[in-house]
Structure 1
């Protein structure tokens, strides 16, 4: 089986799982805990200087969105589409600099995947306050960026390293900071409190 066919089958399986479980979802599996202010990543700060309209003003935070089958399908589709259409490359390879956040055309770094997914989901009608760029640490200690989607069933992450859309607490990452839900230019610090929920992950 080739990789593309396997990825497509994974997409279908995830959608079927959502439909079959939709009548039995309990309370949210958990949301990330915000514990204070954080400085924005330098790449996002510079991105805001270029794309000022995307970082100005504030949002009315109505709380996490209701995760319907239609919205779940959109999350899966956009995560899969971007992951399979953009080739991962570092900023050093693309631009010759250590860090640059930009919308990718054919190649991009992890944060570029996130920016494109966020933009496409907003066009689909998702509230920007529920689509938050998030900085994490991988198990090997390297930094990484994912897109957090706030829902009434918990915080999910869209990741260029996998096509499966997962609850944040089911990933192997340590969560550090993300965009504030009421201000696209402001960032907040996260407490990875899964020690009481799923053992010692992230502590």
Structure 2
């Protein structure tokens, strides 16, 4: 019962957080913050993912349009379990140390992998668990120190949530320290779109500056 209470409390806190950035007024710019805005046109695909798709074309196919996943206690628990499992059983190691190359996207091997490998494993586990792949989007971000990184952005009715191998908590994308650059297209898992990360502009506008 204690673990269930913790899970439910976490979900309630997340819902409250989502509500805080999504006020009732549809004209308020903050309403858009729960979901990352993306470009209408496709953009360049990361070289590592392009090579991954060439080897596994069945994983990079057109996707049917779908609504964000309706989050409930069971799905929230599933997200946490998948995130925790890979964060605690996989050791982060660079592609160069593992494979002698700068970029090589694959599933974690023998308990080791870099950030993209974590994301691929989490995405596959959630798809196997019944999640729609159109709501499980590999995303490329820039860390505060300027280094590149990859996370899994999960589209839910509570906003875009982020599963990150560098963070144990699942957070709204707006609550992470990253600058968002691009992600998989919801229409095609082998295509990518730019993320229009306008959080600073929206906050400035609503503050009246």
Q: CA deviation at 1:149?
A: 0.1
State the match for 1:189 in structure 2. Answer: 194
What do you get for the CA RMSD once the two structures are aligned? 2.5
Assess if the C-alpha contact under 8 Å between 1:82 and 1:117 holds in 2: yes
- CA offsets per residue over residues 50-93 of structure 1, 9 Å max, x none? 1111113x111112111111111111110000000000000000
Match of 2:106 among 76, 80, 102: 102
Higher mean alpha-carbon deviation, 18-27 vs 124-133, is at 18-27
Assess if the C-alpha contact under 8 Å between 1:129 and 1:181 holds in 2: yes
Assess if the C-alpha contact under 8 Å between 1:131 and 1:148 holds in 2: yes
Please list every run of 5 or more consecutive structure 1 residues that lacks an aligned counterpart in the other structure: 1-8
State the match for 1:161 in structure 2. Answer: 166
- Specify which structure has the higher proportion of helix: 2
Assess if the C-alpha contact under 8 Å between 2:18 and 2:172 holds in 1: no
State the match for 2:10 in structure 1. Answer: 17
Distance (whole Å) between structure 2 residues aligned to residue 14 and residue 180 of structure 1? 30
The number of residues matched between the two structures is: 191
Does 2:68 align with 1:43?
A: no
Distance (whole Å) between structure 2 residues aligned to residue 15 and residue 43 of structure 1? 37
Q: 1:185 to 1:193 in 2, by over 3 A?
A: same
Distance (whole Å) between structure 2 residues aligned to residue 142 and residue 32 of structure 1? 21
Q: TM-score when scaled to structure 2?
A: 0.84
Distance (whole Å) between structure 1 residues aligned to residue 4 and residue 101 of structure 2? 35
Distance (whole Å) between structure 2 residues aligned to residue 177 and residue 199 of structure 1? 23
State the match for 1:140 in structure 2. Answer: 145
Please list every run of 5 or more consecutive structure 2 residues that lacks an aligned counterpart in the other structure: 23-30
Q: CA deviation at 1:16?
A: 2.1
